[in-house]
Amino acid sequence: MENLISEIKRIANQNPQGFTISLPNLEHVKSGWIVALKETQNSFGDEGLKKVIETSLNTSQKLGGWKEGKDFYWDTVITFDTKEDAIRAGIENGQIAIYHIETASLIYL
């Protein structure tokens, strides 16, 4: 776990504007509709990262992060192949919008 935390922090420091990776291989996610999981919203700092890693490993195996002010924020990310599934999940998770990685397009919900 400590090694995983350290590697994710390294990726975060290289990508403060944001990133989404798969766990445990730490590869950047390059396809699908992105939806953030409601239960990991407002997770930040080291404690937040631990919680989000655990949630991600137990669910979608995907994790996102970005820097806001001095802190890194983290969330568990779910990807969907279809817009319809993503819209449904986005609404269930209280999201403002969903995002399609390949086409860099967003849909407000």
**Strand 19-22 with 71-80, pairing:** unpaired
Residue from 44, 72, 80, 99 touching other proteins (CB under 8 A): that is 99
Omega within 30 of 0 (cis) for the link into 16: no
Is 66 a binder of other proteins (CB under 8 A)?
yes
Is 91 a binder of other proteins (CB under 8 A)?
no
Is 10 a binder of other proteins (CB under 8 A)?
no
The length of the chain is 109
Strands (E), 50-101: 62-68, 71-80, 97-100
- For residues 105 and 83, what is the distance between their CA atoms, to the nearest angstrom? 11
6 or 103, CB closer to other proteins? 103
Is 87 a binder of other proteins (CB under 8 A)?
no
Is 34 a binder of other proteins (CB under 8 A)?
yes
Residue tagged 């930040």 (tokens): 44
Binding site residues, other proteins, CB under 8 A: 15, 17-20, 28-30, 34, 64, 66, 68-69, 96-97, 99, 101-106, 108
